[in-house]
Chains A and B, each alone.
Chain A
Amino acid sequence: KAGVTQTPRYLIKTRGQQVTLSCSPISGHRSVSWYQQTPGQGLQFLFEYFSETQRNKGNFPGRFSGRQFSNSRSEMNVSTLELGDSALYLCASSFGTSGQYNEQFFGPGTRLTVL
């Protein structure tokens, strides 16, 4: 069974640009969550998508957005990049069944560097 895939693995952008990251969950999983990991702030939850709907959102500015497609693949977009957006972006997939705990499987991450 294929794991969670994230593309691209590495990305270099300059301030002011925008970027789109992609996450393909494990087959059958309907929930995709995104996390940002930085040395200063640690691992922080960005948002979760389930069945094409944003189900939960973290405390990030509106420059961070996402969407999920009917095949459960998800994209996140960051507009007007800032230096502080340099981070490892991780996505996690799960069945997402409400009311019970779902083991989350993480992808290898996309390392974004903003110059």
Chain B
Amino acid sequence: AQKITQTQPGMFVQEKEAVTLDCTYDTSDPSYGLFWYKQPSSGEMIFLIYQGSYDQQNATEGRYSLNFQKARKSANLVISASQLGDSAMYFCASGGGATNKLIFGTGTLLAVQP
């Protein structure tokens, strides 16, 4: 069974600083994907970044990058130059195989302070 662990229930960061949100995963699938989603208070889930288990390079999308360490089974999200609009809940998720089933972690609530 797959499991996602996010050990930081909440975090504060100053505007314009970088922040790292932790995520570790446990899966028996030989091929899998790791996802990060942002959920503002309005409720919708916004896709941020994806890393495939066979990808050689860490994924980057604008201010978001994924620090993928396969041996340590970690997939941390790095947000550079934090903005006030980054304040939200962040979820790490894994998916694998032939289905679209995503397993989510418990999330990290990020608060960006001016």
Asked if A64 is at the interface of the complex by the 8 Å CB criterion, the answer is no
Q: Enumerate chain B residues within 8 angstroms of A107, measured Cβ to Cβ.
A: 44
Q: State the Cβ distance, B31 to closest chain A Cβ, in Å.
A: 9
A48 & B100 in contact (Cβ 8 Å cutoff): yes
A45 & B102 in contact (Cβ 8 Å cutoff): yes
State the interface size on chain A (CB cutoff 8 A): 28
A33 & B43 in contact (Cβ 8 Å cutoff): no
Asked if A42 is at the interface of the complex by the 8 Å CB criterion, the answer is yes
Tell me, in angstroms, the Cα distance from A35 to B50 when the chains sit together: 19
Q: Enumerate chain B residues within 8 angstroms of A111, measured Cβ to Cβ.
A: 43
- Chain B binding surface, main DSSP class: strand
Q: Which residues of A contact B (CB under 8 A)?
A: 31, 33, 35, 42-45, 48, 55-56, 58, 88, 90, 92, 94, 96, 98-99, 101-109, 111
- Chain A binding surface, main DSSP class: strand
Tell me, in angstroms, the Cα distance from A111 to B98 when the chains sit together: 29
B104 & A43 in contact (Cβ 8 Å cutoff): yes
Q: State the Cβ distance, B13 to closest chain A Cβ, in Å.
A: 23
Q: Enumerate chain B residues within 8 angstroms of A108, measured Cβ to Cβ.
A: 42-44
Q: Enumerate chain B residues within 8 angstroms of A96, measured Cβ to Cβ.
A: 100
Tell me, in angstroms, the Cα distance from A103 to B95 when the chains sit together: 10
Tell me, in angstroms, the Cα distance from A88 to B46 when the chains sit together: 15
Q: Enumerate chain A residues within 8 angstroms of B102, measured Cβ to Cβ.
A: 33, 35, 43, 45, 92, 104
- Besides A42-B107, A108-B42, 18 more A-B contacts (Cβ < 8 Å) are A31-B100, A33-B102, A35-B102, A42-B104, A42-B106, A43-B91, A48-B99, A48-B101, A56-B101, A90-B43, A92-B100, A101-B50, A101-B95, A102-B100, A104-B102, A106-B44, A107-B44, A108-B43
A58 & B101 in contact (Cβ 8 Å cutoff): yes
Q: Enumerate chain A residues within 8 angstroms of B52, measured Cβ to Cβ.
A: 101
